[in-house]
């Protein structure tokens, strides 16, 4: 009987150590919500482009009170609010700019506990719903 108890205790210790290691790893992947709350998007309407006849906008990301220009985009831009436009996997915030049935998405993603800025392509269905949000490339990190 003593051997069975020793084995049971050893198994419990290994399981506890494994649970602790997993919890530590998962906590290291989290991004502080206060940091995310300080990242704010600003969309500035630039009017109609004379060459394309399309509306244009400049998108800025405010980081620690400083506006950083992300880029200029054709079409109408809107914040991704997580309800009518869901965030993608690991995306914590973003902006989508569309014109006709395509556009660009700029998002902040949590990659292993580090925030990165990525830009991808957006394709819309005829009814205006999202068909694809893909081809994301790294634009920078924080």
State residue 20's pLDDT score. 42
How is the chain split into domains, by residue range? 1-30, 33-141
Q: In this predicted structure, what is the pLDDT of residue 24?
A: 40
Q: What pLDDT does 18 receive?
A: 45
Bigger pLDDT: 132 vs 3 = 132
Residue 3 is predicted with a pLDDT of 76
pLDDT at 140 exceeding the cut of 70: yes
Residues 6 or more apart whose CB falls under 8 angstroms from that of 86 comprise 80
CB–CB of 103/96 below 8 Å? yes
Q: What is the pLDDT of residue 1?
A: 57
Q: Is the pLDDT of residue 26 over 50?
A: no
Exposed/middle/buried for residue 52 (C-beta within 10 Å: 0-12, 13-18, 19+): exposed
Q: How buried is residue 122: exposed, middle or buried, by Cβ count under 10 Å (0-12/13-18/19+)?
A: buried
Mean pLDDT over 110-129 rounds to 94
Mind listing the pLDDT tens digit for each residue in 86-114?
A: 999 999 999 999 999 999 999 999 998 89
pTM for the complete prediction? Answer: 0.75
Separation CA 63–CA 83 (nearest Å): 24
C-alpha span between 137 and 76 (Å, rounded): 21
pLDDT at 4: 76
Integer angstrom CA distances of residue 129 from 20, 43, 57, 83, 139: 43, 21, 21, 13, 26
Model confidence over 51-60: pLDDT tens digits? 888 899 999 9
């Amino acid at each position: 009987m003593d051997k069975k108890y020793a084995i049971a205790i050893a198994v419990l210790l290994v399981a506890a150590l494994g649970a602790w290691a997993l919890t530590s790893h998962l906590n290291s992947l989290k991004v502080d919500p206060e940091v995310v709350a300080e990242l704010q998007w600003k969309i500035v309407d630039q009017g109609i482009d004379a060459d394309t006849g399309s509306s244009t906008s400049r998108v800025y990301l405010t980081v620690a009170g400083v506006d950083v220009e992300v880029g200029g985009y054709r079409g109408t831009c809107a914040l991704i609010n997580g309800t009518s436009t869901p965030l993608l996997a690991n995306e914590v915030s973003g902006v989508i700019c569309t014109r006709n049935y395509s556009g660009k998405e700029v998002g902040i993603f949590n990659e292993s506990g580090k925030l990165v800025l990525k830009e991808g392509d957006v394709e819309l269905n005829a009814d205006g719903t999202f068909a694809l949000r893909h081809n994301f490339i790294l634009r920078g990190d924080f």
